[in-house]
Amino acid sequence: MATTNDIKNGTVLNLDGNLWSVIEFQHVKPGKGGAFVRTKLRNVTSGKVVDKTFNAGAKVDTATVDRSEYQYLYKDGDDFVFMDNSTYDQLTIPAAVVGDAENFMLENTNAVIALHDGSPLYIELPPSVILEITYTEPGLQGDRSTGGTKPATLETGYQIQVPLFIENNTRVKVDTRTGDYLGRVTE
């Protein structure tokens, strides 16, 4: 058990049998009345975001979440197999837990996996990854009807919008949180 004074961003709370990760928190001391802590919480399993207010000094149940770096090895049916970088143990994670991260993972990609009592909660990829465009239509000079973008397929099979000048086999930087094109990579 901890108190509301121990709440920080990233802390995982166990409320009503569900795990909630603290996205934001603010200690408020109004001129009149008691102090309180205003938080924004994300449900670890469903991703739902809620606002919750606690009285200052109230007891909250924190959950122990172990975050370790793993390497993505391969896809096995609907499951994904990862290897712990320090112990070389393999961990099989269902597609429901991997979620949209699948769109940005190639074999040997490193990811941080959060575990609670040995069961995986979620996967954190780096904020951006570099992937290759496998297919895109040639951009037509002067075509501005689409706002200067066109669809392109990444090597993972995921489709994003890229500027007209991007061609096949171009390496691009992609935001893993939104799926947005961030720029061309020249090496």
pLDDT at 1: 74
Quick check: do 2-60 and 66-124 share a fold?
Answer: no
Are 148 and 134 in contact by the 8 Å Cβ rule? The answer is no
Are 5 and 57 in contact by the 8 Å Cβ rule? The answer is yes
The domain ranges of the chain are: 2-60, 66-124, 128-184
Residue 146 has pLDDT above 60, yes or no: no
At the topology level of CATH, where does 128-184 sit?
OB fold (Dihydrolipoamide Acetyltransferase, E2P) (2.40.50)
Q: What is the pLDDT of residues 19-64, one digit of tens each?
A: 888 888 998 888 888 889 899 998 887 778 899 999 988 898 888 8
Q: What is the pLDDT of residues 153-182, one digit of tens each?
A: 999 899 998 888 888 888 999 988 888 888
Residue with tokens 């699948």: 102
| Residue 166: DSSP 8-state | -
pLDDT-based confidence at residue 82 (cuts at 50, 70, 90): very high
At the topology level of CATH, where does 2-60 sit?
SH3 type barrels. (2.30.30)
At the topology level of CATH, where does 66-124 sit?
OB fold (Dihydrolipoamide Acetyltransferase, E2P) (2.40.50)
pLDDT at 187: 66
Residue 124, beta-bridge partner list:
112
- Distances from the Cα of 92 to the Cα of 95, 103, 110, 125, 181, angstroms: 10, 18, 15, 17, 30
pLDDT at 10: 78
pTM (2 d.p.) = 0.70
**Sign of the alpha-carbon torsion through 123, 126, 128, 132:** negative
